[in-house]
Amino acid sequence: MALIRCLRCKTRFDGNFCPRCGLEAPHAASIRWPAFAICFSAAMLFCAGALLLVLFASRPGEAWGRPMPGIPELAKGWQDEESGWFQPGQYLVGQDIPQGEYYFLKQTSLTEDEYAWIEVHSSLIETDYLVDASFYVNYMVFLHTGQLLVVSDAMFIPSRDVPPHTDWNEGFLRVGVDIPAGEYTVRPKSSAWYGRLSLYHGTDFTRIENFLEDRMFNRPISVSLQDGDCAFIEDAELIRPELSPKLPI
């Protein structure tokens, strides 16, 4: 079954309730369609998909810039010349932006409780998700030539242009750059039911072995961070080693 996106927090899930915020899925409260309506709708969707495929195959040079099946309808992105930051939209890596590691920051127009999000697809015509991330603060990912990047409510620049966040205790943090390696405590915020900690080795998410851990918790936990790793912390805060009590990992 295809995953659905939560209307509140943008998390993708399969079921009747969002595992992150608990919001009921739209289909859970709806009535079941009659069999005829389902068949008719499926036939219409098939015809529409076939028409889009014919249009794309017949004029491939004009496909870039038109909404693609399964990909959010966003305009082609652009770069602010004064600040150097790329703005929300769609980007084809290798054509609109070069391959490399990028740093994403939530736009200041959003409230503290609103998410920004990014998606990375393997190519312009493939709708599989390599990255589907929503975030309150910031995010980082390494992009490869040929991938399609979709950015909503965030701006981004190459990570080499971002100074270390040595005073941050949440968001996407690089061990050895933003924070030193060591033993840390992570605790949920008082305003959240659960905190979330995701650990990666680097930011190239096309490599499965780079995913180290993804944990949700409702009490303080201890974690060991090594140089070269990245910690993504949501609805929680990182306590520096000198302030961290000894807790079970």
Position 82 in a domain: no
How many domains, the chain?
3
Q: Find the range with the poorest average confidence among 43-47, 49-53, 167-171.
A: 49-53
180: containing domain? 171-243
Q: Are residues 156 and 179 in the same domain?
A: no
Q: Are residues 140 and 118 in the same domain?
A: yes
Q: Are residues 102 and 57 in the same domain?
A: no
Position 79 in a domain: no
Q: Are residues 150 and 211 in the same domain?
A: no
Q: Are residues 153 and 195 in the same domain?
A: no
Which of 106, 127, 161 lies at the terminal end of a domain, its last residue? 161
164 contacts 203 by C-beta, under 8 angstroms: no
Rounded mean pLDDT, 30-55: 57
Q: Are residues 150 and 198 in the same domain?
A: no
Q: What is the pLDDT of residues 193-232, one digit of tens each?
A: 999 999 999 999 888 889 999 999 999 999 999 999 999 9
Q: What is the pLDDT of residues 60-70, one digit of tens each?
A: 333 344 344 44
In the sheet where 138-143 sits, what is the strand order? Answer: 138-143, 100-106, 154-158
Position 38 in a domain: yes
